[in-house]
Amino acid sequence: MNKKLIITTLLIVCGILTSSYGFAQNKTATNTKSKVQKTLQKVPAQEKPINTTSLNIVNYPSKYLNKRVKIQATFDKFSTLGLDYDKALRSSKNYIGILIQRDDVQDHDIPLSEMKLFLKKELAEKHIDLDTGDKIEIIAKEFSTALNDPWLDVESLTVIKKATNKENKEQ
């Protein structure tokens, strides 16, 4: 009789363990599924860039902080300005800066040095043929207002109009 009681008890315990293990597995799968769904819900759709001007961004840098912007500008040159600055770090190993010309000066080529624009080197390599005077469109996200200047990561750069040879020689 003792053997029957022990065997019956073992069978009951095994049954309970098996069913609770299956329940735990199902609950884990449900929790994982739930976490994945919550994570997917938290990823926002990429916000539409704000159409603005470079001077608006320079004059009101905090207004555009953590926002995507779209500007049209005149390319001036590639630059190392602002790279490796501790408070808004963009490493010179991975990034190159660009300067655009001021929109409010028409009779001279003056770079808008207050605006720090950074391109990942992979993106910059696609635009090595940029010349001073080329009209470009930039979509970027402002990531810092260090030194009360706008610091932007360029997401895309499109050449709208190439500068003519005459424009390049004058500059």
* 101-141: pLDDT as tens digits: 999 988 888 999 999 999 999 999 999 999 999 999 999 99
Please name the residue ranges forming H helices in 108-160: 121-125
Backbone angles phi, psi at 124, to 5 degrees: -60, -35
Taking only the tens place, the pLDDT of each residue in 18-56 is 665 555 555 555 555 555 455 445 545 678 999 999 999
Total domains in the chain come to: 2
pLDDT of 61 above 60? yes
Would you state the pLDDT for residue 169?
47
Helix, strand, coil tally for the chain in percent (to 5): 40, 30, 30
65 lies in the same domain as 131: yes
Region of residue 148 (phi > 0: left; psi between -120 and 50: alpha; otherwise: beta): left
Same domain, 6 and 80: no
Does residue 75 sit in the same domain as residue 155? Answer: yes
Is there a single domain that holds both residue 35 and residue 75?
Answer: no
CA 108, chain centre distance (Å) = 33
Domain span at residue 73 reads 50-170
pTM of the predicted protein model: 0.69
Six-digit token string for 39: 């994570």
Q: Are 133 and 171 in contact (CB under 8 A)?
A: yes
Residues 54 and 111 grouped into a single domain: yes
